[in-house]
Amino acid sequence: MPLRFPARAAALGLSALLTACGALPAKPTDAASSALADTADTPLARATAPLLKAHPRLTGLYPLERGRDALLTRLALAMVAQKTLDVQYYIWHDDLTGRLMMSKLLEAADRGVRVRLLLDDVGANADDELLLALSAHPNIEIRLFNPAANRNWRALSALLDLSRMNQRMHNKALIADHSAVIVGGRNIGDEYFEANEEVDFSDLDVLCIGPVVPQVARSFDLFWNHKLAVPVKLFYPERKLDGMLDALRIEYGKQLQADRASDYLRELEHQATAARVRAVQLPFYWGRARALYDEPDKADPEEDATLLAERLTPVAQKTRRELAIVSPYFVPGDGGTAWMTNLVKSGVEVKVLTNSLAATDVAAVHAGYARYREPLVEAGVKVFEWKPDPQPGQAQGLVRGAKRSGGSGFGSGAGFRGSSRASLHSKAFVFDRRHVFIGSLNLDPRSIELNTEIGVLFESELLGQRMAAQFDRLVPQDAYALRLEHSDLRWHDGADGQDYDADPKSSSWRRFTVWLMSLLPIESQL
């Protein structure tokens, strides 16, 4: 008898917790909004109008390879915007670059710009207090995509609703005044913009103007108005927001003042002052372009949605000569391995660049990838693994042809910290040196089946030729080439001619850990 009451109380408590963890707040009927397209009178639209007139029906694309350039371009768009900023990210860290970006959004809102910020709840893992304070601004609305229902027990809430919470919004996009957009692989955080002392992500974004911009805007609206995009305010209906924004301004001011003392921001400000270049002076590539993206229903296990991979398939099927794949998280599976094998048999040269074990930031993904290395190499696929410390030296950028220091050009640059560990984060596909896809899509089960993704498919022989040529010239120096010798896998370092018979520059313990993880049935989640 004494045990019954505690047991019943525990059962009732668990039942209540399960109920609380499972219910998302209902969005009001007037919550929908759409992109502001009437922006022809804005400075950004006026600056790009002559270029678009000279290239009718074509999209202008400018690659953002270096982290500092990518950050400066984002800051510039936020500073020049006059009517609207639509911002969508998987990760947004509250670090030096994250605070800098957020402060520019706040400044834009202060001058009357409508700011819509959509963050993935799990990826961003943002502080609700910070988001609530920003949401107190009349021109800022912040929504969390596919959020945990219980904000006090977020981890448990996610665990109890795993079928839904396992599917994430991996999209990255920033749209300014319906006139310019940045899409690509970068999230918002120091490691993406050469500001992290421990790791430097080699990444790639593109700045686009022209017809592809409203296409990305339509994608943003689909996500923004989806039932899983919940305004952060709705989780705290009784919360009084008076004074929160003022307190945040004071705190942000203190933090940014301290940040400005850093070498990174001093050098960044010097670069911004020295490079005040208008958009009309950027050397855009011009060509036909389409925004390809997953529909937000992909994140709802009860819905059926058209997938980005399906939209990219027709181009892949038409590849006849060469396919270059850059994917930091690369788990092709049996199907992908068979597809690439058949391409090689049909005469297509297939080249893949992914992370080495020493360079990857997700060992579990490497464990899923490792079992496919030998079959791919044996089939004739040229597989390269990015080094954790690519050789410094003067080299041409991946697609621009501008001199820079270090890296292969797949979004990497000189960086501020010579001791940083390099990790590949770019996602790009080049089909027959003519069609280029750059976005957030990895070639792994999570990107293809679970997370939502976005990117731009661009048709340009000039861009395709330059990217493919740079792959051939630089990747063999900055990545290990995999080979088979007497059925044993070998890693060849093209920079010094050295060969390795195990994953280079990785410890025996790390290799053992990856082998152990490879035994787990988790490939579908990678």
Which residues carry out catalysis? 170, 172, 177, 425, 427, 432
In the three-class reduction of DSSP (H, G, I as helix; E, B as strand; rest coil), residue 295 is classed as coil
Q: Are strands 394-396 and 382-386 parallel, antiparallel or unpaired?
A: unpaired
User: What b/e string do you get for 264-278 counting C-beta neighbours within 10 Å, with b at 16 or more?
Assistant: bbeebeeeeeeeeee
What is the distance between the alpha carbons of residues 399 and 98, in angstroms, rounded to a whole number? 27
Of 208, 306, 252, nearest to 100 by C-alpha is: 252
Measured between alpha carbons, how far is 115 from 133 in angstroms, rounded to an integer? 14
Contact 175, 213 (CB under 8 A): yes
Q: Which of 84, 152, 157 is nearest to 114 (CA)?
A: 84
Q: Which of 372, 401, 28, 410 is nearest to 205 (CA)?
A: 410
Amino acid, single-letter form, for residue 225:
N
Question: Which amino acid is present at 254?
Answer: K
Residue 203 contacts residue 409 (beta carbons within 8 Å): no
Residue 181 vs residues 204, 223, 228, 291, 442: alpha-carbon distances, Å: 14, 16, 24, 11, 21
Mapped onto helix, strand or coil, the DSSP state of residue 205 is: strand
> Cα 320–325–326 angle (5° rounding)?
160
Q: Annotate 315-382 with DSSP letters as a single string.
A: HHHT--SEEEEE-SS---HHHHHHHHHHHHHTT-EEEEEEE-TTT-S-HHHHHHHHTTHHHHHHHT-E
* 505/501 Cα distance (integer angstroms): 11
What DSSP state is assigned to residue 136?
T
Q: How far apart are CA 205 and CA 203, in angstroms?
A: 7
Of 20, 335, 59, the C-alpha closest to 153 is 20
DSSP 8-state class, residue 448: I
Q: Which two tokens stand for residue 336?
A: 């992908």
In angstroms, the Cα distances linking 387 to 234, 310, 441 are 46, 32, 21
- Nearest residue to 186 (alpha-carbon basis) of 415, 425, 450, 421: 425
Whether 328 and 425 have beta carbons less than 8 Å apart is answered as yes
| Block residue for tokens 């006090």 | 152
3-state helix, strand, coil in the chain (%, to 5): 40, 20, 35
